[in-house]
Amino acid sequence: MEEGKEKEMSFLGHIFELRGHMIRSVIAIFVGAILCGIFWETINNQFIMAPLSSDFFTYQMLNSLAESIGIDPIYSKSFDYSKELKNLIPAGQITAQIFAILVCGLILAIPYVVYEIWKFIRPGLSENERKHTNGAVAGITFFFLTGVLFSYFFMLPFSIQFLFSYNPFSISNEWTLSSYTRLFIQTLLGMGIVFLFPVFAYFLAKIGILTPQFLTTYRKHALVVILVIAAVITPSDVMSMMIATIPLLILYEFSVYITKYVYNKQLKSEARDLIKK
């Protein structure tokens, strides 16, 4: 009876329902932001500013790898670029801190936000669709956080090191606080979103919009699109684009495999239905 009421809900009822999910999602983000604000010093030193220092995990790992194969350390000099950041706007530090806290709050709250979105769209799905998409929340959360972590430990430190050390005009590279926070947020959220492509491919394949034939036919065109996406979500230097392009190509091939799996499963289901008839 309750399911029937959900299906017969008016358009205005859906709007009110959506509003409730959005309000709860915003509250979850603000709760996450408050937690980030409470632990701001730790988050700032150990998370936001950490990739600017030679003590960062990625730099140390690469140096250890170089030593293990008998070559000189890749990053031989000690550095801390955070000491070189400048603030040129009176309210720049306040704005940067609030923005960073909100984004960190979103990252913390993303599983719950995805859950609220799923609760909104779930009543509109058939029983069979619900059964095949029960792992949607876990899948979206996994791919998003994997993208964030990949960006944080690989793309971001390589971009920082390359852009700070690249000096063709023999002048010092001086960054502002706002430019670094924009780079930080752009790369983390950008990669988190594009890592969701396999999830989108799965859902589009389930409703018949995307097929494996389409993805394989336009594979060369997809490479151009991937390069454009890599340029948008990175600082547009060659190093960052190369690092971003590799996982995006892997995700594209993984999406081809997913659509093939869904497509073949649908063909088998249709064949069983024909046999029953």
Q: Are residues 154 and 267 in the same domain?
A: no
| Whether 132 and 88 share a structural domain | yes
Q: Is residue 157 domain-shared with residue 219, that is, in the same domain? A: no
Q: Are residues 166 and 221 in the same domain?
A: no
Same-domain status, 106 and 216: no
pLDDT given at position 125: 66
Among 195, 214, 247, which residue terminates a domain?
195
55 and 153 assigned to the same domain: yes
- The residue from 173, 195, 217 where one domain ends is 195
Instruction: Let me know whether 127 and 142 are in one domain.
Output: yes
DSSP for the chain?
-HHHHHHT--HHHHHHHHHHHHHHHHHHHHHHHHHHHHTHHHHIIIIISGGGBTTSHHHHHHHHHHHHTT---SS-S--BGGGG-B--STTHHHHHHHHHHHHHHHHHHHHHHHHHHHHHHGGGS-HHHHHHTTTHHHHHHHHHHHHHHHIIIIIHHHHHHHHHH--TTS-----BHHHHHHHHHHHHHHHHHHTTHHHHHHHHHHTTS--HHHHHHTHHHHHHHHHHHHHHHS-S-HHHHHHHHHHHHHHHHHHHHHHHHHHHHHHHHHHHHHHH-
* pLDDT attached to residue 143: 93
Looking at the fold, whether 159 and 242 belong to one and the same domain comes out as: no
Report the predicted TM-score, pTM, of the whole model to 2 decimal places: 0.83
One domain for residues 118 and 242:
no
User: How many domains does one find in the chain?
Assistant: 2
Are residue 82 and residue 144 in the same domain, yes or no? yes
My answer on whether 118 and 170 are in the same domain is yes
| Domain extent at residue 238 | 198-277
Q: Is residue 42 domain-shared with residue 65, that is, in the same domain?
A: yes
Task: Encode the chain (277 residues) as per-residue pLDDT tens digits.
Answer: 444 444 455 666 767 788 888 999 999 999 999 999 999 999 999 999 999 999 999 999 988 988 888 888 888 778 888 888 999 888 889 999 999 999 999 999 999 998 888 888 777 666 766 666 667 788 889 999 999 999 999 889 988 888 888 888 888 788 899 999 999 998 999 999 999 999 889 888 887 888 889 999 998 899 999 988 888 888 767 777 888 899 999 999 999 999 998 888 877 777 776 776 6
Could you say which of 139, 160, 195 is where a domain stops?
Answer: 195
